[in-house]
């Protein structure tokens, strides 16, 4: 199996598993790979970095997201959104675990927390390998953006004054 096929299979399996844990009213309808690059070799094997965008739909009546029922809908009555994600994953099978990183103001934090050497801290927002602790152990890391201004297309609605409001929590649905 070629690296590209294996990598795509891993991503699809990861997100199929993630989707199965959510209410059927929220779903990813499309994934678009923006870029792919080698991330390095570690004790558990070779790793790649993928920058991707996920496009999804939410049922405004079934989700417990404030103001979602006010958002613009598509022709099927669903609310659409898109979010950016960075995936750092093993080329071959890793340990089977996914670490979901929730960026703080657009800055991923898990690599700085887990891969920092004792004497030099990997700064928040950095995707530097540092000690490679997570990769040596075979973890897949996914940093999923959720905030406006960080590659996310959020559902909107107009409030009583006619001001456009954004529904930020949709990227995690």
For residue 125 the two structure tokens come to: 């927002």
- Four-residue CA torsion sign, 127, 129, 131, 135: positive
What band does 8 get if pLDDT is binned at 50, 70 and 90?
low
- In the three-class reduction of DSSP (H, G, I as helix; E, B as strand; rest coil), residue 66 is classed as coil
CA distance 91 to 81: 29
Q: Would you list the domain boundaries of the chain? A: 3-172
Separation of alpha carbons 79 and 132, rounded Å: 39
pLDDT tens by residue, 111-123: 888 888 877 777 7
Q: Write the pLDDT tens digit of every residue in 25-79.
A: 778 899 999 999 999 999 999 999 999 999 999 888 876 788 888 999 999 999 9
71 φ/ψ sector (left φ>0, alpha ψ -120 to 50, else beta): beta
Sheet holding 98-101, edge to edge: 26-42, 45-58, 79-90, 140-144, 98-101
pLDDT recorded at residue 24? 47
* 166, 155 Cβ separation under 8 angstroms: yes
Q: Among candidates 89, 121, 85, which has minimal Cα distance to 106? A: 85
Say yes or no to pLDDT of 13 above 50.
no
Contact 72, 170 (CB under 8 A): no
Question: Residue 11 corresponds to which tokens in the numbers above?
Answer: 């991503």
pTM of this structure: 0.76
Instruction: Please state the separation of Cα 97 from the chain's center in Å.
Output: 15
Maximum separation of any 2 CA atoms in the chain, in Å: 57
């Amino acid at each position: 199996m070629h690296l590209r096929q294996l990598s795509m299979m891993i991503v699809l399996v990861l997100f199929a598993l993630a989707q199965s844990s959510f209410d059927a009213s929220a779903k990813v309808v499309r994934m678009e790979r923006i870029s792919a690059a080698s991330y390095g070799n570690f004790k558990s094997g070779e790793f790649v970095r993928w920058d991707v965008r996920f496009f999804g739909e939410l049922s405004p009546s079934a989700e417990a997201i404030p103001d979602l029922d006010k958002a613009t809908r598509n022709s099927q009555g669903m609310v659409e959104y898109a979010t950016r994600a960075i995936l750092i994953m093993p080329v071959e099978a890793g340990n089977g675990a996914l670490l979901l990183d929730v960026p703080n103001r657009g800055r991923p934090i898990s690599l700085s927390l887990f891969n920092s050497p004792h004497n030099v801290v990997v700064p928040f927002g950095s995707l530097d390998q540092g000690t490679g602790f997570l990769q040596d152990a075979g973890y897949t890391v996914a940093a999923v953006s959720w905030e406006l201004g960080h590659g996310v297309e959020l559902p909107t609605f107009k409030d009583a004054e006619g001001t456009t409001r954004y529904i930020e929590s949709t990227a995690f649905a």
